[in-house]
A and B are shown apart, each in its own frame.
Chain A
Amino acid sequence: MSATATEANEELLTLNMGPHHPATHGVLRLLVTLQGEVVRDIKPIVGYVHTGIEKTAEDKSYWKVIPVVERMDYLAYYFNAMSFCGAVETLLEEQVPPRAQYLRVIHMELNRIMSHLVWLGTSALDLGAISMFWYCFRERELILDLFEMSSGQRMHTRYFQVGGVIEDIPQGFARKLREFTKLMPKRADQYGDLLNRNEIVLQRLRGTCPLDAQKLLSFGVTGPLLRAAGNPWDLRKAAPYCSYGDFDFKIPVGTVGDNYDRFAVRLAEIYESVKIIEQALEGLPEGPYITANRKVALPPRHELATSMEALIHHFKLVTEGFRVPPGEIYYPIESPRGELGCFVRSDGSAKPARVHMRDPSFVNLQAFSSMAEGSYIADLIATLAMLDPILGGIDR
């Protein structure tokens, strides 16, 4: 504390929020310097859930890295897996069959909707609109049922593999997905109705903590935060990967860049993701769901009984894993929070020499201090909610 003048309201108070705090979206510690109730500076301290994922990944063969890396940004597990698999596939110069690409797109967009639903539920909880939590998690259960149908797990499904996906979708998945895509826009309408005409939500979000696009770019911020400030940068449109170019969807963009725009952009993205899923489901091509290259992907089990090569491939893949030619690659994709990039360095062996995930929340957090400067503590909470940080990604 420093007293800069004799008046009491000139004193600066340093307040410690977290790491155990109901509103910090995980174990985030904030050292907030306050003047009265006005925020003057914020220093985020992270590392409270640092798991050494990148170090563990160096110890495992490439396909064993996928479950490890999935647990990084724990609401966007398909995206973590996608960026890693994409990086390894680029190093291997492996083609992913079109059916696998469409299945990947379906699961990634379902994951995007699920991540935005959790964000919406917990943010509304922070703002005080507590009922939203139960409505959002009700839809989330439907999505997790779909994930359980296709892969057997609700979270951290290890569904994406190098070369495609691990299994084809079962019978009934398409029907259930269609029911979901018919239902989700109506539910999103309900959420909009509930929050958009709520005076308290509007007062707390409109006009609070704006930051212009230029400053956001200098901080390296991407994703819905940048789109809320007016810059329509989205890797799915700018540099399409995994057959995103086949789909027709819009990019919601805000105008002012305040908390309300961030909220509106994410809510609108739910509708666009539903459109992508519908188009992917209609146009789902027939074909293999994983690459036919037996040196990279496991052969189907029925072949093991008849073919000697299949048995040998299976044995080599399971014990040692496939070798990747030496090289370094950086593979960026668009996750619900921004640009998620995976840097893989391979030295020719069956284990990666370096795996680094460029996590969007880690970089977006740097803009938090500039966003919340000069606002009240209540606006700080709202801004943190709209920032959507996921500590697993920040700390890795």
Chain B
Amino acid sequence: MPDATGLELIAAELREAEGLGEEAVRDTLFFRERATLEIDPAHIRATLEHLRGKGYTFMASLHGVDYYPQEPRLGVLYELLDMERVDRITVKLRVHSDAPALDSVTPAWPTANHQEREVYDLFGVNFKGHPDLRRILMPEDYEGHPQRRDFPIGGEPVIFTYNEPAR
């Protein structure tokens, strides 16, 4: 992992990089020896390209989190890995649930294909520029985004003979 100072250096570089500016990096977090960069959702592609240039060439995971009830509610996390130096860094961003749109990073990182579809399916985040954005785990015509925290967990009572529904 980049240590705390290394993380601040990366954040400073990102802020100074072209096209990104001061608002690009919202926060840095160094927690349990792991580095997290919280960025502005509009700059996700540029941030990931910058980090790829720094050596983080492998995207290990792309997943979503629901920070209900805090807004902006829907978070998307990108886990990047530098295989040469065995370094990991997390890039985090949050979008509002009213307008959950985000640039897709699939054209540059093919591994994000199924994983962005999963975030769309379970959280409802729209990835602009994704080649094939449709539901992957739920049936195609399912309504609702199950992994959101205000979606009920569901479930059925167990059917025995005494509570069997009338035929």
> Which of B36, B66, B86 contacts A328 (CB under 8 A)?
B36
B residues in contact with A330, CB < 8 Å: 34, 60-61, 77, 79, 88, 90
Tell me if A220 and B111 are in contact (CB < 8 A).
Answer: yes
Tell me if B86 and A47 are in contact (CB < 8 A).
Answer: no
What is the minimal beta-carbon distance from A50 to any residue of chain B, in angstroms?
4
Tell me if B136 and A220 are in contact (CB < 8 A).
Answer: no
Judge whether A97 is part of the interface by a CB distance below 8 angstroms. no
B residues in contact with A217, CB < 8 Å: 57-58
Judge whether B53 is part of the interface by a CB distance below 8 angstroms. no
What is the minimal beta-carbon distance from B25 to any residue of chain A, in angstroms?
17
| A52: nearest chain-B partner, CB-CB | B146
Given A47-B138, A239-B86, A329-B34, residue A362 in contact with residue B114 (CB < 8 A): yes
Tell me if A50 and B137 are in contact (CB < 8 A).
Answer: yes
Instruction: Give Cα distance in the complex from A395 to B118, angstroms.
Output: 10
Tell me if A218 and B114 are in contact (CB < 8 A).
Answer: no
Judge whether B139 is part of the interface by a CB distance below 8 angstroms. yes
- List residues 51-81 of chain B with CB under 8 A from any CB of chain A: 57-61, 63-66, 77, 79
Judge whether A90 is part of the interface by a CB distance below 8 angstroms. yes
Instruction: Give Cα distance in the complex from A238 to B87, angstroms.
Output: 10
Residue-wise, chain A 371-396 has the 8 Å CB interface mask toward B (1 for contact) of 00000000000000000000000011
Given A327-B31, A354-B66, residue A366 in contact with residue B113 (CB < 8 A): yes
Judge whether B165 is part of the interface by a CB distance below 8 angstroms. no
Judge whether B12 is part of the interface by a CB distance below 8 angstroms. no
Judge whether A343 is part of the interface by a CB distance below 8 angstroms. yes
A residues in contact with B118, CB < 8 Å: 362
Instruction: Give Cα distance in the complex from A362 to B113, angstroms.
Output: 11
A residues in contact with B36, CB < 8 Å: 328
> Which of B86, B111, B138 contacts A366 (CB under 8 A)?
B111
| A343: nearest chain-B partner, CB-CB | B63
Instruction: Give Cα distance in the complex from A54 to B149, angstroms.
Output: 11
Instruction: Give Cα distance in the complex from A151 to B96, angstroms.
Output: 46
Judge whether A242 is part of the interface by a CB distance below 8 angstroms. no
Given A46-B136, A330-B61, residue A56 in contact with residue B114 (CB < 8 A): no
Given A55-B146, A219-B110, residue A238 in contact with residue B86 (CB < 8 A): yes
Instruction: Give Cα distance in the complex from A46 to B57, angstroms.
Output: 27
B residues in contact with A56, CB < 8 Å: 153
Instruction: Give Cα distance in the complex from A298 to B114, angstroms.
Output: 40
A residues in contact with B154, CB < 8 Å: 52
Residue-wise, chain B 132-155 has the 8 Å CB interface mask toward A (1 for contact) of 000111110000001101010110
Does more than half of chain A's interface fall in helix, strand or loop, or is it mixed? Answer: mixed
Instruction: Give Cα distance in the complex from A396 to B66, angstroms.
Output: 18
What is the minimal beta-carbon distance from B86 to any residue of chain A, in angstroms?
5
Judge whether A341 is part of the interface by a CB distance below 8 angstroms. yes
Instruction: Give Cα distance in the complex from A358 to B112, angstroms.
Output: 12
Residue-wise, chain A 342-362 has the 8 Å CB interface mask toward B (1 for contact) of 010100000001101010001
> Which of A47, A59, A343, A366 contacts B137 (CB under 8 A)?
A47
Judge whether A189 is part of the interface by a CB distance below 8 angstroms. no
Judge whether A284 is part of the interface by a CB distance below 8 angstroms. no
B residues in contact with A238, CB < 8 Å: 83, 86
Given A328-B31, A356-B63, residue A365 in contact with residue B114 (CB < 8 A): yes
Instruction: Give Cα distance in the complex from A145 to B153, angstroms.
Output: 36
Tell me if A358 and B136 are in contact (CB < 8 A).
Answer: no
Judge whether B28 is part of the interface by a CB distance below 8 angstroms. no
Tell me if A366 and B61 are in contact (CB < 8 A).
Answer: no
| A50: nearest chain-B partner, CB-CB | B137
| B108: nearest chain-A partner, CB-CB | A218
Tell me if B32 and A90 are in contact (CB < 8 A).
Answer: yes
> Which of B65, B88, B110, B136 contacts A47 (CB under 8 A)?
B136
What is the minimal beta-carbon distance from B44 to any residue of chain A, in angstroms?
17
Judge whether B115 is part of the interface by a CB distance below 8 angstroms. yes
Tell me if A341 and B136 are in contact (CB < 8 A).
Answer: no
Tell me if A358 and B137 are in contact (CB < 8 A).
Answer: no
Instruction: Give Cα distance in the complex from A327 to B61, angstroms.
Output: 18
> Which of A54, A93, A218 contacts B32 (CB under 8 A)?
A93
Tell me if B32 and A329 are in contact (CB < 8 A).
Answer: yes
B residues in contact with A343, CB < 8 Å: 61, 63, 65, 77
B residues in contact with A332, CB < 8 Å: 60, 88
| B142: nearest chain-A partner, CB-CB | A47
Judge whether A91 is part of the interface by a CB distance below 8 angstroms. yes
A residues in contact with B153, CB < 8 Å: 52, 55-56, 59
Given contacts A55-B146, A330-B34, 11 further A-B contacts (CB under 8 A): A52-B153, A54-B147, A91-B32, A218-B109, A220-B60, A238-B86, A341-B79, A343-B65, A356-B64, A358-B60, A358-B79
Q: List 13 A-B residue pairs with CB atoms under 8 Å apart, sorted by A's residue number.
A: A47-B139, A90-B32, A218-B109, A220-B109, A327-B31, A328-B31, A328-B36, A328-B77, A329-B31, A330-B88, A356-B65, A358-B63, A365-B114
**Nearest 9 Cβ contacts at the A-B interface:** A220-B111, A358-B61, A47-B137, A50-B137, A356-B63, A354-B65, A218-B110, A238-B86, A219-B111
Binding site for B on A (CB under 8 A): 46-47, 50, 52, 54-56, 58-59, 90-91, 93, 217-220, 233, 238-239, 327-330, 332, 339, 341, 343, 345, 353-354, 356, 358, 362-363, 365-366, 395-396
